[in-house]
Structure 1
Amino acid sequence: MDCAYFDDLRCTSCTLMGQPYAAQLDEKQRLVAALLERHRGLSWLPPVASTEAGYRNKAKMVVGGTVDAPTIGILDADGYGVDLQACGICSPGLRAAFPAISAFIFRARLTPYDVPARTGELKHLIITESPAGELMIRFVLRSTEALPRIRKHLASLLEALPQALVVTANVLPEHKAVLEGAHEVVLTDADTLPMRVNDVTLHLRPQGFFQTNTEIASALYREAREWVRELAPASAWDLYSGVGGFALHIAGDAGEVVGIETSVEAVASAEQSRADASLPRLRFAAGDATAFALAATRSPELVIVNPPRRGIGATLAGWLEASDARHVLYSSCNAASLARDLDAMPSLRPVRGRVFDMFPQTTHAEVMVLLERA
């Protein structure tokens, strides 16, 4: 894949841009295998390749420029907007929506936030596209000052983008390097975006997490279901369960299943999906994964962990090492923290692994490893 933004040095976020995709995938597999090479019994399945371009279902863009000529993209070194509306890794549906959103910013007079001057209202634009082509559009604002104008002109945005199912305003009053604030104002009747993945419908709320690459997420969940089906555990936990992707996919093959997630929003989404699918032996609860495990009176047969980049940490790894869990399914977006966590669980032997290329054109990948008690 080639990118004019990358070639012109306007955006260098995709550090592998321009390199042959087959070589990117081979190198990711090599690096992951090298990090886990001391585990001699680990058998690697072929890596799962993604489409090279248009794979991102979510765009997290900084809004810059002026209200008459807004930019949607990133900021340069001086804090001024660089327009990336034609970004090639964004899905075609996202790219097609940017011009209408840019016109709405002008119409509703949403003054872009000027980082150096600390003035203006509209900070970020966060858009997610579902597999069905529906959109969730979130305007991240410094205050609620612009809300009346957004409400006044919302009909014009929905007319231009009839696929926009959910539109919200998120309020981030602080001047700091974060993407969004805690307060969300839903402006449409719908407040969740249905994400159909394989035969499971996940309900994404505005502040919920969903994998960036729907195609690869679908492959990841299918593979997890196949591995769990072979094990047929009587009980399972899905720790760091998010909106329930793993738990909902394995619910028919794992007896009693519990999903634990810190985000109340994500748990509400997962519970909605569980109710829709009529899965009485699956439940979700809000809480810290490590605290939940430490407080448990018994271990499940299978534990699924899908932590953030920092990994599960020494305390949870220690609990898993000492537990009666027969298998652990570990899905990681950071092979370095995965390797560290595996070293802390010597009784759980990695037997099968696979790389899923969730992030083409970058050095990042998702890795899933099945562990069994020695």
Structure 2
Amino acid sequence: MECSYFDAGACRSCTLMGTGYAVQLAGKQRAVSGALVDAAPAATWEEPFASAESGFRNKAKLVVGGRRGAPTLGILDAQGRGVDLRHCGLHEPGLAQAVPVLAELVAASGLRPYDVPGRQGELKHLLVTHSPDGELMTRFVLRSPGQLPRVRELVAELTARLPGTRVVSVNLQPEHKAVLEGEEEIVLTPASTLPMRVNGITLHLRPRSFFQTNTAVAAALYRQACAWVDATSGSVWDLYCGAGGFALHLARPDRDVLGVEVSAEAVASARTSAAELGADRARFVAADATSYLASGTGPACVVVNPPRRGIGSLADRLESSGVREVVYSSCNVRSLVRDLGRMPSLRVRSARLFDMFPQTGHHEVMVHLVRAD
């Protein structure tokens, strides 16, 4: 992949830009397998799952800079000034087409970009998600509700210019700090969820629901979990379930599946998807994953897909539980190694690298653990 922004020194986020993709993938495989050599000495490593080198991101997280009438959509430089990256080559084709149109609409709207050094202005970020069916969810992150009417006025034109528009919302983030979004979300369209069709299963995403940024690789993660858990009898719990991707893929007429997630909005998304699928034996609850495992009889299998920090004390709970199998998907091999060290009775049988983030050193690695007899 070649990138004019990288060549010009405007953006260095893709730290492996210019390195051949086969070399990138091999380097990541060496890194994660080397990190796990002691924690998973008997693991069978499956072939790494490769991504497209470019055009793979389903979500654009765009900092809005510049000035009224001439916004930049991209990142901030070291001085806190906007750097325009509206033609970033990582975006999926439909997303790549949408971002320049959004830039034009913002420029014509009168919305004033937030100036970080001066602490003035209103529009902080645009968060845009593109679905496999070509639909869009666009979120305007504002400092205050004062400019909400301007965004409301944009909805009709946005829908006309980008017919795939399904959800438009305003997120309020009043604090001056490096936080992408705030707690309050105001949906401006009749639809409040973006359907994401993955492996024939439709996941409904609300504005603040988490979903992997690479749809094709997320689909591969779900398929691999199903393959590993296929022969498992008994119930399966998906802890840190988000919008329910793993849980809904693992749901079967003869299997009880429970998804646990602290975000009530994500749980609402998962319940909507389950109802639409007719997955009667899939339940979702808004709760802390660690506390929930300790509150009742454990399942036969647990799937975890935690934040970068890992599962922490949940590893101790899993070790002392009756859980026979664990599928652990991690974006941080260091925290994964630490967590595996707290579960010595659960041995890694299989492992696989999924290249969720080409052009960077980031990785996603998933392991299948089985309790030693």
Alignment gaps of 5+ in structure 1 = none
Structure 1's consecutive aligned runs of 4 or more residues displaced over 2 angstroms after TM superposition are: none
- Name the residue aligned to 1:14: 14
2:182 aligned partner, one-letter code: G
Moved more, 354-363 or 249-258: 249-258
- Name the residue aligned to 1:310: 309
1:136 CA drift (Å): 0.3
Distance, in Å, in 2 between the alignment partners of 1:304 and 1:166 is 30
Please state whether the residue corresponding to 2:31 is helix, strand or coil: helix
* Residue 299 (1) aligns with residue 298 (2): yes
1:253 CA drift (Å): 7.3
Please state whether the residue corresponding to 2:272 is helix, strand or coil: helix
Please state whether the residue corresponding to 2:251 is helix, strand or coil: helix
Distance, in Å, in 2 between the alignment partners of 1:54 and 1:255 is 37
Does the CA-based 8 Å contact 1:232-1:253 persist in structure 2? no
- After superposition, the C-alpha distances for 1:31-54 in whole angstroms (9 at most, x for unaligned) are 111111122210100000000001
Distance, in Å, in 1 between the alignment partners of 2:217 and 2:277 is 22
Please state whether the residue corresponding to 1:146 is helix, strand or coil: helix
Please state whether the residue corresponding to 2:144 is helix, strand or coil: coil
1:69-218 to 2 correspondences below 5 Å: 69-218=70-219
1:157 CA drift (Å): 1.4
Distance, in Å, in 1 between the alignment partners of 2:45 and 2:158 is 48
- Name the residue aligned to 2:267: 267
- After superposition, the C-alpha distances for 1:68-95 in whole angstroms (9 at most, x for unaligned) are 1110000111111100011111112112
Does the CA-based 8 Å contact 1:57-1:214 persist in structure 2? yes
Distance, in Å, in 2 between the alignment partners of 1:152 and 1:350 is 54
Please state whether the residue corresponding to 2:365 is helix, strand or coil: strand
1:232 CA drift (Å): 2.4
TM-score of the superposed pair, with normalisation by structure 2: 0.98
In percent, how many aligned pairs have the same letter?
Answer: 58
Distance, in Å, in 2 between the alignment partners of 1:194 and 1:88 is 24
- After superposition, the C-alpha distances for 1:93-118 in whole angstroms (9 at most, x for unaligned) are 11211222112112221100011111
- Name the residue aligned to 1:370: 368
Please state whether the residue corresponding to 1:145 is helix, strand or coil: helix
1:300 aligned partner, one-letter code: P
Matched residue count: 371
- Name the residue aligned to 2:233: 233
1:40 aligned partner, one-letter code: P
Distance, in Å, in 2 between the alignment partners of 1:353 and 1:279 is 29
Superposition RMSD in Å: 1.0
Distance, in Å, in 2 between the alignment partners of 1:89 and 1:9 is 17
Does the CA-based 8 Å contact 2:253-2:281 persist in structure 1? no
